[in-house]
A and B are shown apart, each in its own frame.
Chain A
Amino acid sequence: MSAPLKCALLALNSVGYQSLALGYLRAYAQADRRLAGKVGFQTLDLTVDMDPWWVAWRVLGLEPDVLAVSVTCWNARAVFDVCRIVGRVRPECVIVLGGPEVGPIAAETMTANPSVHAVVRGEGEAAFADLLHAFATGGKAWRVDGVTAIKGDEIVSAPDRALIADLDSIPSPYLTGTMPLIDGGSYLETYRGCPHRCAYCFEGKGYGRIRSFSDVRIAAEIEMLAAAPTIRSFSFIDPVFNLTADRIAMFAAVLAPLAEKGLRLHTVEVDIERIDDESAELLRVAGVASVETGPQTIGAAALEICHRPFHADRFARGIASLRRQGIQVECDLILGLPGDDVFDFLAGLRAVLSLDPGMIQSSTLRVLPGTELWERASEIGLSFDPEPPHEVIATSTATFRDLRRAEVMAVAYQNEYRARL
């Protein structure tokens, strides 16, 4: 009997965080009976500020047969460096990438990074397990649905893979002990998909319709986190926490007893135009300390291009309701959206400031692979950096210099606002 494949799972995260994606991949693969005894796993949850050479040092120390890396626009440059170094030192190691930065442009990624052997496209759990099975049994990677891989001298994409219908079939990384619990750095996912179709975002387009984990599964994960003596706060990564009134009521019921003991939720994303006094109170009861929301822009042309609604009165009402409950609101704005000029952006900043939400965060548009803006960039006059994180360089309505000026202004205004008693 041959030795099990050694699979290293690598993520380069923001400081203080760990990769939920790797947790899912590992929990799913470990539960796959076909892989039992054939594949062993080790997870390297490192930070994006690490020198890629030292990341490679850590990876190579594991002597992996397979290196699987989760790639986002934020860590892509570092990941590609790591892959190049690992590929040179250990050419027998099969390097597999996945994640939103590479899935939509799998073949291009592999062409630009010859050390990469395969890319998992879209939802990764089932495809990655099948891919490992192929590696362990001498199968062909390019035949695995949802995978783009090398076939001889070619790069071949197998058909797309259907989404997992029953999310509960993915074992919980927390309940299985696959992921450690980190105070403030642990977060839960209760559904996949997004009700919105914002042109700059991959979330809705990548995952299609909304699929939920069961209430029982969600409650079990919450209770496990709450029972950990080191956990005082955690978060949810759902794109819209207040998806329905029923969900808020469910969360309030589950979380209220825990909130009374001091457990807090931070930075959950909400559709603020659906927040009224009643739902704001439920969020407070659930222990929500802070929420994150748009508007991203208030410019009419940009809203239309990006398919985003914005009703100033409802937005203001939502913020006021949350503030009355003592919940801090972080309002996000995006600079450089098509249709906006810098004056529109500043108008948005002014409008948000006037509502005194507690926190304002602006960022420059990143034109992400797989998004509508990526596909329509030429048509709508978006010029962006082809290298990740794909920051916008200029638009048909905002010059390069004005965008850079507005970036500086936005940061200055945010800091001036944050300095308060």
Chain B
Amino acid sequence: MLTFVPVSLGEGRAVTCERCHGGSPTPVYRDSAQIAGDIETAVRSGAAAPGPNIELTGPEPFGHPELPAIVGMAVRSGVSRLRLHTDASAFVVPANAAGSVAAGVRHVRFSVFGGTPGVHDVLVACPGALAETLEGVRSYVAAAATQEALVHVSALVPVCRHNVRDLPAVVATATGAGAAAVLLRVEDGGLDLRAAIEWVTAACDTGTVNGVRVEVEGVPPCLMPDHVLHLADVVRARAGAKAPACAECALDCVCGGGPAGAAADTLAALRAPADAGALAGRMRVARGMAPS
């Protein structure tokens, strides 16, 4: 429900699945003056209250040589909430964790692929990566507790064919490290969504029984009608994310579609549930949308 305006630190991503994307390209960081301009624009954009909230995205933020200055600029510009999207390994150094909290970083989103090193470390091609990430998250949470600062930690799980069966374990692991929310983002257009649903919904239930909110992006509501409360409420108009038939579906107005570039077979097989109209109406209510 809170909107964070993304501000890119450069080209690249904090963590990627090596099996999906091959080797990670060398990150290219933007000049801090450019980033400052984007921060100012984001703050002035008047995005939906409460805010303004920004997220520093792109390549690993702790790789940017001027991160402290950028955080300082964001705080001075008047953001209410500043989120770093990171692999969290830099927080293993206590000074980084304590310094981030002291500087005003109240939100951290860390990427995680698997619930065990056997999945996570293999997919990111970095032995010991999961242990470092989890230790980093715990270090950040501990630093916040020491400074009596309220912080919010969430995990982003990029879902692909290589980790889909591990999703319940990922949620449990992220929760154990201190995540208060988990976002499952299906990014693999070749993933068999119908087969994936049992793992996605099991991950949602794992979150619920552990008191952690699990949100799902990249799965249409018609595939998980009993778990629509878990669907992210962002409706993205992404090319190739919806089947042609969806244009006549009552759920289209609240549907984020499948992952970008979803397999044609998957999209062609989508069918609205019998109560699609009523379900769409209730989902519109929850999202503060005008009645259809």
A residues with a Cβ closer than 8 A to B are: 341-344, 346-347, 349-351, 353-356, 402, 404-406, 408-409, 411-413, 415-421
A413 touches B1 (CB 8 A): yes
Could you jot down 19 A-B contacts, CB within 8 Å? Answer: A344-B286, A350-B288, A351-B288, A353-B1, A353-B49, A356-B50, A404-B208, A405-B230, A408-B211, A412-B181, A413-B213, A416-B1, A416-B152, A417-B2, A419-B81, A419-B107, A420-B150, A421-B82, A421-B104
Docked complex: B252-292 residues within 8 A CB-CB of A: 282-283, 285-288
Q: Main SS of chain A's interface residues?
A: helix
- Counting CB contacts under 8 A, is B177 at the interface? no
CB pair B50–A412 under 8 Å, yes or no, is no
Task: For A420, list chain B residues within 8 Å (CB).
Answer: 50, 80-81, 106, 150
A351 to B208: give the CA distance in the assembly, Å. 23
Instruction: Take A341-B282, A355-B49 as given contacts and tell me if A416 and B229 are in contact as well, using a CB distance cutoff of 8 Å.
Output: no
In the assembly, what is the distance between CA of A406 and CA of B106, in Å? Answer: 24
Contact indicator A347/B288 (Cβ below 8 Å): yes
With the chains together, A238 CA to B100 CA distance in Å? 42
Contact partners of A350 in chain B: CB under 8 A: 1, 286-288
**Chain B positions 62-91 with a Cβ under 8 Å from a chain A Cβ:** 75, 79-82
Tell me, rounded to whole Å, the shortest Cβ–Cβ distance linking B65 to chain A: 24
With contacts A341-B282, A418-B150 taken as known, whether A349 is within 8 angstroms of B79 at the C-beta atoms is no
A315 to chain B, nearest CB (A): 15
Tell me which residues across on chain B come within 8 A of A418, comparing CB atoms: 150
B180 at the interface (CB under 8 A from A): yes
CA distance A344 to B286 in the complex (A): 6
Residues of A with C-beta under 8 A to B81: 419-421
A405 touches B229 (CB 8 A): yes
B97 CB to nearest chain A CB (Å):
15
A343 to B104, CA, bound (A): 33
Q: How far, in Å, is B208 (CB) from chain A's closest CB? A: 5
Q: How far is the CA of A421 from the CA of B152 in the complex (A)?
A: 12
**Which chain A positions have C-beta within 8 A of B107?**
416, 419
Task: List B contacts of A406 (CB < 8 A).
Answer: 229
Which residues 104-118 in B have Cβ within 8 Å of A in the complex? Answer: 104, 106-107
- A408 touches which one: B75, B213, B282, B288 (CB < 8 A)? B213
Known: A356-B49, A417-B50, A419-B151. A342 touches B79 (CB 8 A): no
Q: CA separation between A420 and B154, bound complex, in Å?
A: 15
Complexed CA–CA distance, A353 and B151 (Å):
18
Contact B286 A354 (CB under 8 A): no
Chain A residues with CB under 8 A of B1: 349-350, 353, 413, 416
Name the A residues within 8 Å of B287 (CB-CB): 346-347, 350
Residue from B75, B104, B285 whose CB has the most chain A CB atoms within 10 Å:
B285
The answer to whether B207 has its CB under 8 Å from any CB of chain A is yes
* Chain A residues with CB below 8 A from B43, complex form: none
Contact A343 B286 (CB under 8 A): yes
Whether the Cβ atoms of B212 and A412 lie closer than 8 Å is: yes
The answer to whether B152 touches A415, judged by C-beta atoms less than 8 angstroms apart, is yes
* Complex alpha-carbon distance, A341 and B284, angstroms: 13
* Residues of A with C-beta under 8 A to B126: none
| 3 smallest beta-carbon distances between A and B, as pairs | A412-B213, A356-B50, A343-B286
Q: Shortest distance in angstroms between B111's beta carbon and chain A's nearest beta carbon?
A: 18
Q: Which residue of A lies closest to B210 (CB)?
A: A408
Residues of A within 8 A of B150 (CB): 415, 418-420
Within B232-266, the residues touching A (CB, 8 Å) are none
- Across the interface, name the chain B residue whose C-beta is closest to A409: B213
Taking CB atoms, residues of chain B closer than 8 Å to A409 are 213, 229
Residues on A with C-beta less than 8 A from B180 are 412, 415-416
Indicate whether B48 reaches chain A with its CB closer than 8 angstroms: yes
Nearest CB of B to A154, in Å: 47
Of A350, A354, A355, A416, most B-chain CB atoms within 10 Å = A416
CB <8 Å contact, B229 and A421? no
Residue on B with the closest CB to A299?
B285
Given contacts A354-B48, A354-B50, A408-B213, contact A421 B286 (CB under 8 A): no
A416 pairs with B288, CB closer than 8 A? no
B44 CB to closest chain A CB (Å) equals 17
Q: From residue A399, how far is it (CB to closest CB) to chain B in Å?
A: 9
- Does the CB pair B208–A419 fall under 8 Å? no
